[in-house]
Amino acid sequence: MEGRLLSGVARLPWTWLGLIVPAVVIFYQWAYHTDLPKIKGLFEIPNPLPTVGHLLLLGDDHASTCERLWRKYGHSTFQIRLGNTRAVVFNSFEDASRILVANQSSVIDRPKLYTFHGVISSTKGFTIGSSPWDESTKNRRTAAGAILSRPAIRRFSDMFDLETFSLIADTYKDSHQGTQEINIRPYIQRLALNTMLTLCYGIRMGDMDGQLLREILEVGSAISLLRSASENFQDYIPILRYLPNNEKIQRAKELRQRRDKYLEFLLHKTRERVRNGTDRPCVAAAIIKGEDTKLSDVELSSICLSLVSGGFETIPATLVSCIGSLSTKEGQVFQERAYEDIKRHYPSSSEEAWLASMTEEKVPYINALVKEAGRYYTASAMNLPRKTTTPVIWDGATIPAKTMILVNLQAANHDVDHFGPDAGTFNPERWLEPGESPEERPVQGLAHMSFGAGARACTGRAVATRVIYMALVRLLTSYRIIASEDEPPNTDYADYNKIKTALVAIPRDFKVKLVPRDSVELEKCLRASAQRNNQY
Ligand code: HEM
């Protein structure tokens, strides 16, 4: 009896070990499992944690952390683990252009993410920017490219005139002719959103407090948050999707419903106008009338959604922050030089400059400002994610097909090896030749990376540049912009963004004083513009 007991006790650890060892092995495999094995010959950031990988290390501000990791370990390109997803991050300007341009057909795809693709986009289709590469994406991208090309957007010059006129007229009125400080962001948001809504549906919102305007801005920003890795661990750690009362999924479903509602309303309005013959030239009307027969209803919806979501946050992120930099003490010098350059090209009156800005982009200092605003304030710091379709040979390593590709546009745009030691300073004059009269410095290849690059580069670049150029000409001929002492702008290229987890930057609020340069001239411009636009 005693002997049997002793032998039972001796066997017990072996029995337990027989259970524990496989359990540990299974847990280890589960915790460290990735969709693709470690890429040999490519530096990996050390110490991934079980299950979460490097997600916690990346924190809220992925772009700044990756920039630091690049400098800390001395590897501009490295692999990391986002939960169970292996991704390769590219940081330097040279590596970012090499992967996006020299390997453009291998990185033409975009990954599908659980929350955004599986829940939010399940009813109205994906935007172009979030679609994997297939025949439909190709058709939608081609259609959007044709609508947004430089020659095609000329027919919208009246709309650009009206929106930039409204920006100046309303800021002039609401700041009590420049005597009170204002937050300029809502005016720029309305300018961007109206531009996109007019392009897509021939509809604009006049009222700053309009309910629909607020709804589109609120839902759009909330959805942009649901696309970010740091907000959505469930995209990378699948087990989290099965937690009871998953708030992210509830939120995604609620936003999907709200977005579907206003998209249907806008499309319905355009259909009604087409039926009554009162439609204005716009993407939706052209497609409804069968001018582009290749596209289905869902594709039409997707194009409009892509254009609205592509522009309504990126343009404000760039333009509002640029105004912030111009309003500082150092920025006063840039403002005066820009104003002088506008006068050099249009010497007779501000009205001449206002009119010319509808069709021309020939003031070098303004072009330099547009480029520097784009470079310095990188609206989409980590780019829209890409995925490899074929293996990419990278300095001897092979990045396999289906790998997530993250390009750190913010790091590339502030790479001192490319832009020089003052890469971290806002300076429009880096784009100009030295001399008395500003002349643009020729740029070889890409000026900066803010619009991405290669086969999936931004299709809205010409529209964005048009709007920002025109708004700057009109703002700078109208006002001297001075930062508020109590609520000044944050001009740090990473910290200007108040929500770093969002896909597109949201500038922190600040106030400026808009001091009219010459009230008589300004009011003349406003009257002429109001007449052109049948306003007031
Ligand atoms: C300053 C303004 C803008 C910035 C900084 C910006 C930035 C970007 C970036 C970084 C991408 C991803 C590129 C890549 O993967 O390499 C992108 C894609 C895209 N953008 Fe923009 N964008 C801006 C304005 C606009 C506007 C005004 C529109 C529409 C009118 C637009 C429409 C799109 C579309 C449709 C895509 C998806 C392209 C694709 O996946 O094939 N963007 N944008």
CA–centroid distance, residue 377 to ligand 1 (Å):
15
d(CA 441, CA 427): 14
Q: Is 39 helix (H, G, I), strand (E, B) or coil?
A: coil
Closest Cα to atom 20, ligand 1: which residue? 458
Give the pair of three-digit tokens for residue 403: 């790998």
CA–centroid distance, residue 314 to ligand 1 (Å):
8
| Buried/exposed 384-420: b ≥16 CB within 10 Å, e otherwise | bbbbbeeebebeeeebeeebbbbbbbbbbbbbeebbe
DSSP per-residue string spanning 204-234: ----TT-HHHHHHHHHHHHHHHHTSGGG-GG
d(CA 493, CA 439): 26
Complex confidence, ipTM: 0.99
Judge whether residue 104 has pLDDT over 90. yes
Helix or strand holding residue 275 (H, E)? helix 247-276
CA–centroid distance, residue 103 to ligand 1 (Å):
19
Closest Cα to atom 19, ligand 1: which residue? 458
CA–centroid distance, residue 126 to ligand 1 (Å):
14
Are the C-beta atoms of 191 and 472 separated by less than 8 Å?
no
pTM: 0.91
Quick one: which atom of ligand 1 is closest to the CA of 378? 5
Side-by-side strand order, sheet with 404-407: 77-82, 85-90, 404-407, 386-387
Structure confidence by residue, pLDDT tens digits, 182-216: 999 999 999 999 999 998 888 887 654 478 888 88
Closest Cα to atom 28, ligand 1: which residue? 460
Q: Count other C-beta atoms under 10 Å from residue 494's C-beta.
A: 18
Q: Which amino acid, 230? A: S
d(CA 171, CA 512): 11
DSSP per-residue string spanning 93-109: HHHHHIIIIITTTTT-B
Structure confidence by residue, pLDDT tens digits, 379-430: 999 999 999 999 999 999 999 999 999 999 999 999 999 999 999 999 999 9
With tokens 């029995």, the residue in question is 15
Residue 282 assigned to a binding site: no
With tokens 């759009």, the residue in question is 220
Closest Cα to atom 16, ligand 1: which residue? 452
Beta bridge pairs of residue 481: 514
As for ligand 1, residues whose beta carbon falls within 6 Å of it are 100, 128-129, 141, 144, 148, 196, 306-307, 310-311, 314-315, 318, 379-380, 383-384, 450-453, 456-460, 463-464
Give the pair of three-digit tokens for residue 47: 């110490």
Domains in the chain with CATH codes: 34-534 (1.10.630.10)
Structure confidence by residue, pLDDT tens digits, 289-313: 766 556 777 788 888 888 888 888 8
CA–centroid distance, residue 456 to ligand 1 (Å):
9
Look at residues 369, 377, 378, 370 and name the one whose alpha carbon lies nearest to residue 334: 369
Beta bridge pairs of residue 533: none
